[in-house]
Structures are given as C-alpha cells and as structure tokens.
Amino acid sequence: MAERKLLVLFGSQTGTAQDTAERIGREAKRRHFQCRVEALDSYDVANLISELLVVFVCATTGQGDPPDNMKMFWRFLFRKNLPPSSLCQLDYAVLGLGDSSYPKFNFVAKKLHKRVLQLGGNPLLPVALGDDQHDLGPDAVVDPWLLALWDKILALYPLPPGLEIIGPDTRLPPKYTLHYLAEDSLHPDGGLLQPTASRAIPSELHPFAARMVSNQRVTAECHFQDVRLIEFDVTGSGMTFSAGDVVMIQPQNCPDDVQQFCQLLRLDPDRRFLLKPTEPSTSLPALLPQPCTIRHLVTHYLDISCVPRRSFFELLSYFSTNELEREKLQEFSSAQGQEELYSYCNRPRRTTLEALWDFPHTTCAIPPEYLLDLIPRIRPRAFSIASSMLAHPDRIQILMAVVRYKTRLSKPRRGLCSTWLASLNPEQGDVRVPLWVKKGGMKFPADPDTPVIMIGPGTGVAPFRAAIQERVAQGHGGNCLFFGCRQKSKDFYCQAEWEELVTKGFLTLFTAFSRDQEEKVYVQHRIRENQRLVWELLSSRNAHIYLAG
C-alpha cells in the first residue's frame, strides 16, 4: 500500500495562508495521514521531485507579488532549465487567498498552478480562488473546495483497514508538550534581546537589538493624532539600506495585557518550561529561547492582541466545560456561523485577550501546551525608513502614526507596535528594539539628471524624506515634493527641513493643508494647479513619479 504522506506548503504574508495550511494539516491528521506543514522558503525545494502529494496554500501581496516567505521558492520554480517532466509523479492542488478588489486577483496561485502543471504535475482539482471581498471571506470558497479535495485524496489513498476518520468530537494532540522545570533551577529571562554577537546580517531569525536614540512627537499636542519621529542607533549591525527600503520591527505585548492573560489562564508568569515537539518532524519555534518563562512566551511570542480567527474558536470549543460557552464557540467555528463571528470579532476588531474574557469558564480550562496551537505568533511590522545613511550614518529613522481608533467596543483600539514604540522613553535608560532591514518596492533613479516627483501626504512622506536626503547628499537636483496634511500649524512634518532645502535650491515643495481654509484642498488639487510643470518634467525630462500613502 502506498505510504500515506501529505506535504502542505504555504506562502503567507499576514498569517491567513498559514492558518489555512495548518487547518489542512489538522484535517489530514484526522484522516490518518503523516502530514508536514511548512513555509515554502523553509522547505528544501530540491526535494519536490520526490514528493507524491502536495497541497500549496498561497496568498498574493501588493501588485501580484509572492509573499516574503516564498520568494526563493518562486525564483527556483521559474528557472528556465527545469525539465518539463520534473514533477511528473506529483499529485497536487493549489489554494489561493486573495482580494478581488485588486487587479491581479490571486495571481500567485494561478501562476503556481500553471507552472507545476507545465513541469508535469497532476492537478487533483482546479485552483481555488479564496476572496477576502466575499461576505463570508475566503472560507466561502475554501470550505467546499476542501471537501472535494479530501474526496479526491481518499480515493487515491484510502483509509487503512480498521481505521475511521477521527471525528470532530475528538481533540487532536498539541503541536508541542510543555515541561515545567523545577523552581530552584536558575532563570535568566530575556533570551530575545541579548545584543547578538553573531556576525550574520540581521534578519527575522536574528534581529538586531538597536538602541532607541530619540522618540519625538512631531504633531502639536492639541492635534488628534500622535505621530512620532523615532531614531535608532544601528552601529555595528552590518545593515545597509537605501531610499525606499523598509525596516522590520518585532513588537511585544504591554505588561498589563500580559498580566491579565496570565491571571485569566491562571498561569504563573515566572514558571520556566521546555518545549518538546509531539512529532519528531516538527521543529521548535525559532524565536523562543529554551528554556523559556511563561512571561517571555506571552510578552514576545503570543499575539494576544490580534483579532482571533475561526480556528481559534474551533480549538477553544474542545476545552469548554460550560455548555453555553461551548455551543457559542462551536457556532463561531461552523460555516453557518461566519457572519455572526464577523460581527463579534472582525467588525469591532475584538482582540484575542478580549475574546478570552468573554468565555471565562473555557479560558481557565485551556491546557498550557495548547497555547502555541491556539494563538499565532506576533508578526513583525514594516515601516518605511525615513532617513538616508548618507545624511545619518549608523542611524535609522521612522515616521510613525500611533494607531488608535474607536469601534463599538468601549475601549479604543490600539496598534500593538505603534503603541509599544510610543511608550518607550530613551531618556530613562537603555531602550532596545529588535529590528532588521528589508528591500523596499521603490527604486530611485541613479541618473542625477532624472527629476523625481514625489507625492507623499501624511506619514506617506517618510520614504521621500530618505530619498531627498540621499539625493541631496549625492548632489542630485530635480526633487519635487507634493506634501499634504490637515493644518500647517499641527501636522506639517519636517517643516524646517523642507524649508531649508527649498532655500538652498535642492527642493521644489507644494503643500496642501486640507483644513486651513473653508474648502478642502488636497495634493491632487496642487498637482492640477501645477499641471504645466508636472507635464514639462514628465514629457521633456523623463521624470519618475512616486506615490506613498
């Protein structure tokens, strides 16, 4: 009998594709498959020629781009020298997650499906095109597609004699088991932020613990929005970047939330534990020190402030000892309950921690080893770098709006990363932030004679501040900036800097202060007023136009 092995490979940017891939992994275990779930770039693509059964789950980002964690795989798969029969023994299926309001809807999934077919793969089903715009989200497509997929797979690999599908009433084992250590063993806490001694260029797995140098509010105190210009010292990191690049920052949960979470689940934050994978093929979470304290796990790893997904409620329902709570949790995890779940969770942006408060009987019954199955890890946040190495060597600056808004819930919603960064005060001691640099999507012209028209309202001006600093340092003229904000006196970021560059002849500046007069004026009005200049730069001087929001 053929070996019943399934490989699920995902390319995920925000975590949805990973969540779906893990769901397929759970469904495979219920059907007694040996199943591995891996990010495409963690998988050794050379092994693909010997795989027999693979499900690909991939998101599409930006303008039809593959997610970061499948870029290397993507480059390999499209190499011209791969023989057309490379994957002739492979049965496969592709599930795409996209958003039909973008022109390149599910582009990556469609292209992947076609390429594997070209290389000789045998598709079990047409590609699934999950759509965020659907009333019920991508699940409207994913649910029926998965039912059809399991029919196909079980026809090829029937259940072994005497085995039944493990029903939905049975809880699957956790990904890891948690072994508490004796109280008296030593406990240094803080494995994450030890400045790295390794010479490796900083990356997601090895962030650089940068010292925060300054954290300055650049909007008037009376302005409704708090915007910060934050500077980090990256001396000795080996990082280099140019205008248009991005800094990735790994945030953490605030101490109050961590304390609440530990109280709700009756966990001792200072307990130390070791993680052991339940199955030998599962690797340990890369960013967790071993041994680790509960406090470190909850502060640096578990995303307790994210809006929980359907899979969270499904797993939670297994721990419920209270009938009312269990019924509600089962409703939220059913296909029929998705509208209800949307108005409970997504519309008001309810956090995981708040959802746990609403199910107190269930929450205090959660076994700690299931925490890593239940709650995703905290994802890094991307910020446009707002400074140039030529103007500020060994420094990275960002221009960051502190995210805070109201929904129907009484407590204002707060952005995890921006709230944390805004709360740090470098004047009160050594403040370290884990970060690394990533190539951005904007490239500025190398030719000093090519003019650049930049349209950057609000914090969208950040990458253009880096570009202008860089171009001025290189002696490039032809810098034209359209900047817009509400009021000249309240949120005109970097005003003195721009005005000095205008005086020195390095910058042409057009401003639109939307609320400083009766009728609202935006950057597009200023562009129209200056259409002659814009057209002249484009038509006879080959100007490049850049837009950031």
The amino acid occupying position 338 is Q
The CATH number that applies at residue 355 is 1.20.990.10
- Which of 112, 133, 156 lies at the terminal end of a domain, its last residue? 156
Whether 414 is in a domain gets the answer yes
Residues 6+ apart with CB under 8 A from 168: none
Alpha carbon distance 395, 234 (integer Å): 6
Q: Do 362 and 418 sit in the same domain of this protein?
A: no
Q: What is the pLDDT confidence band of residue 286, given thresholds at 50, 70 and 90? A: confident
* 264 and 352 share one domain: yes
In a domain? residue 341: yes
User: Both 280 and 226 in a single domain?
Assistant: no
What is the H or E stretch that residue 485 is in? strand 479-485
pTM: 0.92
Q: What is the tally of structural domains in the chain? A: 4
Both 140 and 10 in one domain: the answer is yes
* Per-residue confidence (pLDDT) for residue 198, from 0 to 100: 56
pLDDT of amino acid 153: 97
Query: Do 395 and 321 fall into the same domain?
Result: no
| Domain shared by 20 and 63, yes or no | yes
In a domain, 175, yes or no: no
122 contacts: CB under 8 Å, gap ≥ 6:
88, 90, 91, 92
User: Looking at 357-450, which runs of residues are DSSP E strands?
Assistant: 381-384, 395-401, 404-405, 413-414, 432-438
Same structural domain for residues 268 and 370?
A: yes
- Predicted confidence (pLDDT) per residue in 43-93, tens digit: 999 899 999 999 999 999 878 888 988 989 999 999 999 999 999 999 999
394 lies in the same domain as 351: no
Among candidate residues 318, 348, 374, the one where a domain is terminated: 374
Q: Residue 379 in contact with residue 387, Cβ under 8 Å?
A: no
Q: Which stretches within 275-385 are classed as H helix?
A: 294-300, 310-317, 323-332, 338-341, 352-358, 360-363, 371-374
Could you read off the pLDDT of 357-374 as tens digits, one per residue? 999 999 999 999 999 999
User: Percentage of the chain surpassing pLDDT 90?
Assistant: 86
Q: Rounded to whole angstroms, how far apart are CA atoms 388 and 397?
A: 9
> Tokens standing for 126?
């047409």
Residue span of the structural domain in which 288 resides: 255-374
Residues found in the chain: 549
Q: 256 pLDDT band (50/70/90 cuts)? A: very high
Per-residue pLDDT at 184: 63
Integer CA distances (angstroms), 414 to 15, 346, 347, 406, in order: 20, 15, 15, 9
Tell whether the model's pLDDT for residue 193 goes beyond 60: no
In a domain, 521, yes or no: yes
Chain center to CA of 453: 30
pLDDT attached to residue 31: 96
Mean pLDDT, the chain, as a whole number? 93
Question: Which tokens belong to 78?
Answer: 């499209």
Give the pairing of strands 227-233 and 395-401.
antiparallel
Would you state the structure tokens that stand for residue 276, as one six-digit string?
Answer: 């052991």
Specify the amino acid at residue 396: I
- Asked whether residue 93 falls in the same domain as residue 141, the answer is yes
Residue 542 has pLDDT above 50, yes or no: yes
The pLDDT of 438-442, averaged and rounded, is: 90
CATH code: domain of residue 113: 3.40.50.360
Residue 179 domain flag: no
Write phi, then psi, for 360 (nearest 5 degrees).
Answer: -65, -40
Please check whether residue 290 lies inside any domain of the structure.
Answer: yes
Alpha carbon distance 117, 86 (integer Å): 10
Q: Same domain for 259 and 289?
A: yes
Q: Is residue 164 part of a domain?
A: no
Q: Is pLDDT above 60 for 191?
A: no
* Structural domain contains residue 183: no
* Structural tokens at position 151: 């029919």
pLDDT by residue (tens digit) across 417-439? 999 999 999 999 999 999 999 99
Q: Could you tell me the pLDDT band of residue 196, with boundaries at 50, 70 and 90?
A: very low
Residue 339 has pLDDT above 60, yes or no: yes
145 and 9 co-located in one domain = yes
Task: Check which CATH number belongs to the domain holding 502 and give it.
Answer: 3.40.50.80
Residue 190, pLDDT > 80, answer no
Report the alpha-carbon distance of residue 309 to residue 136 in Å, rounded. 13
Domain boundary among 319, 349, 374: 374
In this structure, the answer to whether residues 321 and 369 fall within a common structural domain is yes
